[in-house]
Structure 1
Amino acid sequence: MVTNHSTAQTGPDDLDGVPVRLTFISPQGTRQTVPSRMGGERRRTTPPPLAAHDVLLGGSVQAVRLSCAAGGTDAEGQRKLEAEIRAALCLHRAFHGTPYQSLFPSLVGYDMDAEEPFVVYQVPRGDSAAQLAYGISTTEQRTIERDLVLAVRLMEGLGLVHRGLVPAAVRWDGKRAQVWDLGAVARIGSRRVPVGMPPYAAPEQRHGVGRADARDALWSVAQIVYQLAAGQQGDPEGPPRDLAAYRSLERPLGDAFAPVAEARPAPAEVLALLMPGPDPAALVEARPDPLEPHRQDYDRAMERKRRAAGLGPYGFGHGVETPAAGTARTAAPPGEARGRRRAWFGGPVGGRDTRGQ
């Protein structure tokens, strides 16, 4: 979940830290130990207590290491890092090996049991979208628009919503967009907490009103694409006054500027205009999950432990909770509940399996 505000790429010669052997758990659940060297710090679009550094793994793989800064035992940092790892694992398990995996950070490994817990990603691709205004063609703008809506829809299929979509959290390599800052991911239907910056965060999200909705992220996409097209930020409370001047933006995303989620179109509706054909989110439903009962047992055990330790609810994001019974989680088509449960109970995070404890 790390973005770099610089276009410069780090090379092996820049990673001059003391060589160490780094042990981590791969996304497949296997423990690996490889030689590594730590590099300089990378800027993030989200505040501490998590910090990011470049790292060279195995002498060839450039990566980004995100860890708890200034004391890995800090409860807030631990909780945020755990939420980020769970989001990364959910996306990896759902989309690795599919055409959609490039839309999200590529997870290398993690370890929540280390003295300084961490997660490692492959480096972001391309440049930050914060640098792209007036620097790309209309065709490229439309491709970014399509990819961002697609990412929002795919995450919705997993029951997730990205609450931190800003230009600096989006990368562009000339062909595809990539969405970072997974620590800002929350569960659809969880209570909104005041988070995000205008104009990119929807008004009800900034004010912490109601429950998280995939259409919150659609507002963010509309604001980002408007800034790419207009070269300036949009209105933090509603549609930009000159929206009609950008007809290609007005047609698919015009209603996404509505101040409340209920007045915005569903991500699937917008995606159908940009990418006609079957709904890609059906990919999530097509994969059976025989481990789901075990993951539910694991999460119940983790919930008991967190409550006993006074750490608050267990799940994605900051200040979120399990949606109340009967709460509508999204406006998406029926049948996605199975995919959402898979996301919420994404399997153990860390080197120890605490199921049943």
Structure 2
Amino acid sequence: MHSPTAPPILDISPIYGADSETKAKLVEEVRKCCHYNGFFQITGHRVPLELQRRVMNCSKRFFDLPLDEKLQIDKNRNTFNRGYELLRSQMLEVGTGPELKEGLYIGEEIPEDHPYFLQKKLNSGPNQWPQTVSEKEEFQKTTMEYYHAVFELAKDVLAVLALTLGVESNYFDPLTEGAVATMRFLHYPAQPKDEDEKLNRGIGAHTDFGCVTLLLQDEVDGLQVLDAPTGQWLDVKPVPGAYVVNLGDLFMRMANDKYKSNTHRVINKSGRERYSIPFFFSGNPDYSCECLPNCREQDEAAKYPPITVQEMVTASYKESYGRAEKYKEELKMKKPAPAPAPAVAPVGA
């Protein structure tokens, strides 16, 4: 009988060492997670706890700013997903309301003369930095230091994933070379405990768009992963210093559905504010995603035609943000028209 358990916590330090036995054991544990639901937590990585704490402090400082100051870097002012995102801008789960979270989108600093910017590559452009946040220079420096550290960790995770497929650890080098990754600072306001859970999700039930996601949580929980065999939602408890790792739709597609991009959501029922920093690793925009080695039987066909990273992720973005806008328009249509003002009797009547 299946007994659902939350994603396991795996020590990935063996990948940095020479002990082949412990490395092989880790690879097997990761492989099992990929086949089951594509979720696990990792410790033993090379991102310092002190840096994690500094960047979480940056996130909180930003969201403490007045709304009008955050809106000075509204991401709707550009087409490449950089800057501030208002509450209820995105809607990932049909049947819920737009999501109760606000965010700051950050990526590699791409100047306007860079080929990626000129060719309108996925999420590629200059960052929009808040001008009124305290210690502005330190804010930018810490944010980018952290971004680059997690970028390197994502490459380490992909090296482990390559080993689970029975290929060399450098198999994904063409995917990671020139890769695009988007980081978000996220803030979930405290919700009243009797709030309608169905409509007021921090993030609705969804799967991620790209290859792999690395999530840093603060101490407030709320992340839940669906256990598909039982239909139960499993809480993913925050572990200091750990990353929640999950595969995205693009990786599942390349794995011919053998590895899972699993449904998850955030419902902040803690009565407290929640902060998290997801890092979405998409890959080189021009990389052609095809069926990976050892992901189909000898006579089994690939389920999907080749698609580039750019094509796959761009289509997913349009769907989720379009859904939120459609929902808001439908709400406007349902509002009753204002009652006509009462007639004013003529003076002296």
TM-score, L = length of structure 2? 0.24
In our comparison, the structure showing a higher alpha carbon Rg is 2
Which one has more relative contact order, counting CA pairs under 8 Å at least 6 apart? 2
TM-score, L = length of structure 1? 0.23
- Between Structure 1 and Structure 2, the one with more helix by share is 1
